[in-house]
Amino acid sequence: MRYLSRPFVLLAVTMFAYQFAFSANRAILNNFLVEDLGIRANQMGLLTTLREVPGFLMVAIVALTMRVSPSRLAAICMLVMGVGFAAHAPARSFAGVVPGVVIASAGFHTWMTLSNAFGMAVARQGETGRTLGRIQSVGMAGSLLAMGLTLLSINQLGFRTTFVASAAMLVVGVIAISRFPADLVKRSPERIILRRKYGLYYALSTLNGAGADVFLAFGVFALVQHYAIDVRTITLLLIVSSVLNMSLAERVGRLVDALGERRTMTFSYSILLLVFLGFALVPDRNLAIALYLVYNVTLLFSVGVNTYLKRIAPPEDIRGCLAMGLTTMHVSAMVLPLVGGLLWMSYGLPAPFLLGAVFIGLAMLVTQRIPKPQPVPVATTG
């Protein structure tokens, strides 16, 4: 079967290692920033903006690396991420943590332009959502293992040793993805794909990014700074989130394939709107925890943006479109986290989440422009 092929296994191992490292880092980062470095909301907004600069510059990065083999470039991405994660360890101030965050972000965002292209390379037509869902499930298994080990060892190892350990795990990803057959990944011409036919995809990417920027900057930060939730509880939340995502990712992908992007994404944006409004308007610790879990599960439906691209774009356009989509998604990251941090400092926690709710509502409206999939013609005989 295609999903048990050698390329699929290599990609699955890579995703496992990547999600392990990324999740271990994510589990402790906000507590590290608040408890060890004393980061405030406006600094968190600035740090988020700086972290997203490589994403904003992704068009230029893709153009500069277009001649590099996809497998080699992916291995470089993993290595750069590892260096960035390790550089968190010696940080003693806001200024000290910025270089590691930006370096890790450069590797992460370049990998983001490649990961879906690798997934699409091993997917058969009509099973893109299912295949991406399987790969996500393997990644979630790595995330779950990282969360479990962090929960058990964080008191003994501390934040700084855990950063170094997460970086070391990325070496496994470097080895695995460097062996992936490069000829399976379709290369774009040496230009960025910017065509009117992909305008809806770019609009959805931008609005997705706007909502994600707000929650990325202030979701866990609110739990840690406003509700004083400790690192072990945050890690436990991520474990629950990983279990839910691992068990539901393939089912969500199958649902997207069966019902289409417009219906499933409309549903997901409706849920996300309630999440943002709940964070903003109901100041309850337990509700905030529940809404955080709902947010993470609902993000699984974002696979619909990529299945829509797969449906409308020829294989040679996909990587260039993914890169351009990632860049448009980060346009808002140059402004919204900064604005959100200032709004928090001036008006309190509800303000940035109300801002995010506006963009989620806009995304829901734009989703209604996604055309329904054309039915596959049925061959007749006689």
Rounded Cα distance, 294 and 298, in Å? 6
226 close to 352: Cβ distance less than 8 angstroms: no
Question: How deeply is 6 buried, as exposed, middle or buried, from its count of CB atoms within 10 A (0-12, 13-18, 19+)?
Answer: exposed
pLDDT of residue 189 exceeding 50: no
HSE toward the beta carbon, residue 290, CA cutoff 13 A: 9
CA 145 to chain centre: 18
pLDDT of residue 104 exceeding 90: yes
**Radius of gyration of the chain measured on its C-alpha atoms:** 20
As a whole number, mean pLDDT of residues 229-256 equals 88
**% of the chain at pLDDT higher than 70:** 92
What pLDDT is stored for residue 314 in this prediction?
86
pLDDT, one tens digit per residue, over 268-306 is 999 999 999 999 999 899 999 999 999 999 999 988 888
What pLDDT is stored for residue 115 in this prediction?
80
In a domain, residue 79? The reply is: yes
In a domain, residue 99? The reply is: yes
pLDDT of residue 264 exceeding 50: yes
Least confident interval from 113-117, 216-220, 260-264: 113-117
In a domain, residue 205? The reply is: yes
In a domain, residue 288? The reply is: yes
Q: Tell me, what DSSP letter sits at residue 90?
A: T
In a domain, residue 197? The reply is: yes
Q: What is the mean pLDDT of the chain?
A: 87
Least confident interval from 54-63, 145-154, 266-275, 296-305: 54-63
286: three-class secondary structure by DSSP? helix
376: three-class secondary structure by DSSP? coil
Q: Tell me, what DSSP letter sits at residue 227?
A: T
Name the residue type at position 299.
Answer: L
Q: List CB contacts of 125: < 8 A, sequence separation 6 or more.
A: none
Work out the number of other CB atoms within 10 angstroms of the CB of residue 377: 6
Rounded Cα distance, 128 and 119, in Å? 8
In a domain, residue 382? The reply is: no
Query: What's the pTM?
Result: 0.82
pLDDT of residue 347 exceeding 80: yes
In a domain, residue 89? The reply is: yes
pLDDT of residue 242 exceeding 70: yes
pLDDT of residue 323 exceeding 80: no
335: three-class secondary structure by DSSP? coil
Question: How deeply is 241 buried, as exposed, middle or buried, from its count of CB atoms within 10 A (0-12, 13-18, 19+)?
Answer: buried
Distances (CA, A) of 356 to 43, 351, 363: 18, 9, 11
Rounded Cα distance, 325 and 328, in Å? 5
The residue count of the chain comes to 382
pLDDT of residue 185 exceeding 80: no
As a whole number, mean pLDDT of residues 227-239 equals 93
As a whole number, mean pLDDT of residues 50-65 equals 81
Q: Ramachandran region of residue 260, left (φ > 0), alpha (ψ -120 to 50) or beta?
A: left
Rounded Cα distance, 130 and 112, in Å? 19
pLDDT of residue 137 exceeding 90: no
pLDDT confidence of 191, banded at 50, 70, 90? low
Token output for 197 = 């036919």
pLDDT of residue 375 exceeding 70: no
CA-closest candidate to residue 362, choices 167, 232, 205, 156: 205
pLDDT of residue 382 exceeding 50: no
- Helical axes 261-281 vs 285-298, angle rounded to 10°: 160
What pLDDT is stored for residue 327 in this prediction?
74
CATH number at residue 42: 1.20.1250.20
The winner for highest mean pLDDT among 79-88, 239-248, 251-260 is: 79-88
131 close to 124: Cβ distance less than 8 angstroms: yes
Domain count, the chain: 1
Token output for 162 = 């855990």
As a whole number, mean pLDDT of residues 227-240 equals 92
What pLDDT is stored for residue 55 in this prediction?
79
Rounded Cα distance, 110 and 118, in Å? 13
Token output for 377 = 């013609």
pLDDT of residue 38 exceeding 90: yes
293 close to 242: Cβ distance less than 8 angstroms: no
Give the range of the structural domain holding residue 226, as residue numbers without chain letter.
Answer: 2-179+187-367
pLDDT of residue 124 exceeding 70: no
Rounded Cα distance, 189 and 94, in Å? 41
316 close to 190: Cβ distance less than 8 angstroms: no
Helix (DSSP H) and strand (DSSP E) numbers for the chain: 14, 0
Rounded Cα distance, 220 and 231, in Å? 11
CA-closest candidate to residue 352, choices 170, 176, 162, 225: 225
Rounded Cα distance, 328 and 57, in Å? 10
Q: List CB contacts of 200: < 8 A, sequence separation 6 or more.
A: 308, 366, 369, 370
As a whole number, mean pLDDT of residues 159-175 equals 94
pLDDT of residue 246 exceeding 90: no
In a domain, residue 379? The reply is: no
372: three-class secondary structure by DSSP? coil
Give the max Cα distance, the chain: 77
As a whole number, mean pLDDT of residues 207-234 equals 92
